[in-house]
Amino acid sequence: MKQKTLLDTQTCSEELEVLDLELKEPQIKLTKNNHPTVKPIKLMEYLVKLVSKEGAVVLDPFLGSGTTAIACVKLNRKFIGIEKEEEYVKIAQKRIMFWEKPIEKREHEIERQKIIAEEKLNIQQNSLW
């Protein structure tokens, strides 16, 4: 089952498929996130701010697709994430690596993914005719 989320709330990767990324940009489809309980980044930011200060270490014993870790990166916290499912670890790693990039590189990646998405859409539309 495919899920769709808002740009700021979810994901990033190299592969085009299902979820969206947030950087005050339009929605773009970037990657498949198969985790069954993906949380919005904004929600996890609120919770992390509620229970920690800048520079603190936040433990997430059920890392999942890494949303708490992303909130920590955005809020200048350190994090420890534990996840037993290798598939989710890979998703989390890609998402965290994206958010650790400087904003200029994230914006460049979003633009690159938009171009790829448009090209794939054009190819699909042309193959229908």
For the chain, give the mean pLDDT. Answer: 78
The CA–CA distances, whole Å, from 118 to 17, 55, 111, 115, 124 equal: 13, 40, 11, 5, 10
**2 in a domain, yes or no?**
no
44: domain range? 7-128
- Domains contained in the chain, number: 1
**129 band by pLDDT with thresholds 50, 70 and 90:** low
**103 in a domain, yes or no?**
yes
Q: Is 80 within 8 Å of 59 (Cβ atoms)? A: yes
Q: What is the pLDDT of residue 108?
A: 86
pLDDT at 79 exceeding the cut of 50: yes
Q: Is 26 within 8 Å of 14 (Cβ atoms)? A: no
Q: How far apart are CA 99 and CA 68, in angstroms?
A: 12
pTM above 0.85, yes or no: no
The string of pLDDT tens digits covering residues 13-28 is 433 333 343 444 334 3
**63 in a domain, yes or no?**
yes
Residue 16, classed as helix, strand or coil, is coil
Q: Is 13 within 8 Å of 30 (Cβ atoms)? A: yes
pLDDT at 117 exceeding the cut of 70: yes
By C-alpha distance, which of 36, 40, 37, 38 is closest to 1? 36
**22 in a domain, yes or no?**
yes
